[in-house]
Chain A
């Protein structure tokens, strides 16, 4: 009885504190999303006057599922996600182990590691287009001078364009993974290592059967978070490749952007937005469950 009273007491108090945020979010996020949903059942194009009121039901969604360019962008997103996150995890773990092992000037190294993720993604795109420029880029010069067995015209063909788009993302986020994993490593109880050492385990054995299993929750959280963020990839490929050559690096956000703000097919873009929102909302629920589990 008392408990119940306390809860309802809380509710009205909580409500007052929550109100500003939730009213704001209703106006800036919920209503726009509902508007998008409504839009996706119409056939609104900038090119046709009066098309805003033409109800077409599920036609946009049906067209979407038959659109090879949509499938292209989905597959590019997944290719990008898979390789970017994979290498970010591998490099991140190595970096974390190295940072954890050094006894001094840890702070300086950590600060330097922080740099890439703080550089605006747009600037990263520009920076790379300067760095790998086939005529005067430092990278091109290094490859030529040192006769390294590496390609130089990276944005010229589809295969290498995708590689460089992935590399930019690894550049930005692998150090971040390193710092997250470092935090994970530092929270491992030293007793676990000692017990393993007493049992005569080698360093490699300790890594595979003590460190890695204990790090699993942290790795899972980081991988999920990064995987979801790859759906937001826009700035770097926009400025470096523009989705090209052709549509070789046209990830989902670039494709949606082009449908909405280059071709001005608002309703069609709205249908893509709704699909994207549903997918990410579900991923978000999974993330929340996993992340909160690690909390307990």
Chain B
């Protein structure tokens, strides 16, 4: 009985806690389905007649669809490039320990912990000189710059988890290291690859500062485009909520899919 009461209290406590925590977010999602009148109603309406007009207004009329496509292009390119470049290096850290490793990993660490603004300034000036401002190439380079160290750090742990005996067996069969890396160990680490890719995608998708500085009219990603809805004529909260919902929902779905590997990725393997 006592134990039941204890668990009851725990569940109740956790539920209330999560409810309070998630309330602003739930409110955002609800607002995105409200008409202008309902959004500002006092007392706030919990039950209302839902509408998709905010989504239509924001994405079709205001052209946010274009920004959505920009975000997708930048995200996919960032993930693909970062993975192609980063996987071999992560593999080498795991499989071929050598004397330069310490230096290399400090080098990586330096780039990993550099605040975005520190890279934003030189990249802005260099890209303006090279004519890369307001191009996809510019923003993709910037996103690769801080995702690449991350890929190497995260994947290194996943490669470490694959037994080395497998490589030895393949070596005996006369396979080259590149072949083993590409067609044996990487497929074996596929859940790690998926988690890393998802993580990269989220980093790029949610990124604001670089995109704010390096993109222009044609290449603006979604996070940068939202503040454009904060107009002097009044803020269109319904549409902002609609865009906010569209930004967050795919991320949540993916995050929950690779949940298991998320934590180890976020602490760069320090916590397993």
1/0 contact string of A140-172 vs chain B (CB within 8 Å):
010001000000000000000000000000010
State which size class the interface on A falls in. 35 or more
Contact of B252 among A28, A118, A183, A260 (CB under 8 A): A118
Q: Decide: A284 and B109 in contact? CB cutoff 8 A.
A: yes
Distance in Å: Cβ of A94 to nearest Cβ of chain B? 9
A295 to B44, CA, bound (A): 51
Q: Decide: B42 and A115 in contact? CB cutoff 8 A.
A: no
A126 to B235, CA, bound (A): 11
How many pairs of A and B residues are in contact by the CB < 8 Å rule? 276
Binding-face segment, A32-40, A63-71, A81-89, A206-214? A32-40
A39 to B112, CA, bound (A): 22
1/0 contact string of B229-259 vs chain A (CB within 8 Å):
0000000010011001001100110011001
Contact of A281 among B110, B117, B145, B205 (CB under 8 A): B110
Instruction: Answer whether A187 and B272 are a contact pair too, CB < 8 Å, given A115-B22, A277-B118.
Output: yes
Q: Decide: B226 and A126 in contact? CB cutoff 8 A.
A: yes
Binding-face segment, B10-18, B47-55, B59-67? B10-18
Distance in Å: Cβ of B86 to nearest Cβ of chain A? 6
Q: Decide: B85 and A24 in contact? CB cutoff 8 A.
A: yes
A141 to B237, CA, bound (A): 17
Q: Decide: B121 and A260 in contact? CB cutoff 8 A.
A: yes
Q: Decide: B111 and A29 in contact? CB cutoff 8 A.
A: yes
Q: Is A93 an interface residue (CB 8 A)?
A: no
Distance in Å: Cβ of B206 to nearest Cβ of chain A? 4
Q: Is B220 an interface residue (CB 8 A)?
A: no
Instruction: Answer whether A113 and B149 are a contact pair too, CB < 8 Å, given A17-B96, A20-B88, A176-B266.
Output: no
A114 / chain B contacts, CB cutoff of 8 Å: 252, 255-256, 259, 262
Interface residues of A, dominant DSSP: helix
A179 to B43, CA, bound (A): 36
Binding-face segment, B23-31, B166-174, B189-197? B23-31
Distance in Å: Cβ of B161 to nearest Cβ of chain A? 13
Q: Decide: B86 and A257 in contact? CB cutoff 8 A.
A: no
Instruction: Answer whether A10 and B98 are a contact pair too, CB < 8 Å, given A25-B145, A234-B116, A295-B270.
Output: yes
Docked complex: A97-154 residues within 8 A CB-CB of B:
98-99, 101-103, 109-116, 118-123, 126-128, 130-131, 136, 138-139, 141, 145
Interface residues in chain B, defined as those with a beta carbon under 8 Å from any beta carbon in chain A:
7, 10-11, 13-14, 17-18, 21-25, 27-28, 31, 39-40, 42-44, 84-86, 88-89, 91-92, 96-101, 104-126, 141-142, 144-145, 148-149, 152, 177, 181, 202, 205-206, 208-209, 213, 223, 226-227, 237, 240-241, 244, 247-248, 251-252, 255-256, 259, 262-264, 266-272
